[in-house]
């Protein structure tokens, strides 16, 4: 993976739908990662989402904060490849041990980048 540390944000629904429709999806116990490689784009862009099935707004926001922090630490250590990424929180995301959550993210990124 490249050593790119800067990551923009995906905020609009069409951006999320583009990654979901054209990208790859990797499911782990702690999260689902959707990724769309785009070598013409120099920076990475990341979006976070958690469905209402996971819980109320407090729980969903806590889950997103855990995903953001895991991504921040993994990107700092391993770098983040260029492209668009969507991290989807699962019910187990908030209960999963944080080091395992980081491992899930690393594993998903590696698997998603394999051809």
pLDDT of residue 115: 62
What is the SS3 assignment for the chain? CCCCCCEEECCCHHHHHHHHHHCEEEECCCEEEEEECCCCCCCEEEEEEECCCCCCHHHHHHHHHHHHHHHHHHHHHHCCCCEEEEEEECCCCCCCCHHHHHHHHHHHHHHHHCC
For the entire predicted model, the pTM comes to 0.90
| Domains within the chain, CATH numbers bracketed | 7-113 (3.30.230.10)
Condensed to tens digits (0 to 9), the pLDDT of residues 48-105 reads 999 999 999 999 999 999 999 999 999 999 888 889 999 999 999 999 999 999 999 9
């Amino acid at each position: 993976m490249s050593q790119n540390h800067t990551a923009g944000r995906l905020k609009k629904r069409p951006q999320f739908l583009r990654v979901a429709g054209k990208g790859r999806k990797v499911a782990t116990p702690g999260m689902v990662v959707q990724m769309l490689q785009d070598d013409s784009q120099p920076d990475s862009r990341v979006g976070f989402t958690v469905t209402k099935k996971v819980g109320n707004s407090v729980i969903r926001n806590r889950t997103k904060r855990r995903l953001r922090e895991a991504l921040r630490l993994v990107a700092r250590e391993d770098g983040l490849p260029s492209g668009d990424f969507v991290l989807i929180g699962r019910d187990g995301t908030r209960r999963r041990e944080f080091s395992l959550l980081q491992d899930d993210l690393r594993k998903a990124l590696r698997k998603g980048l394999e051809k």
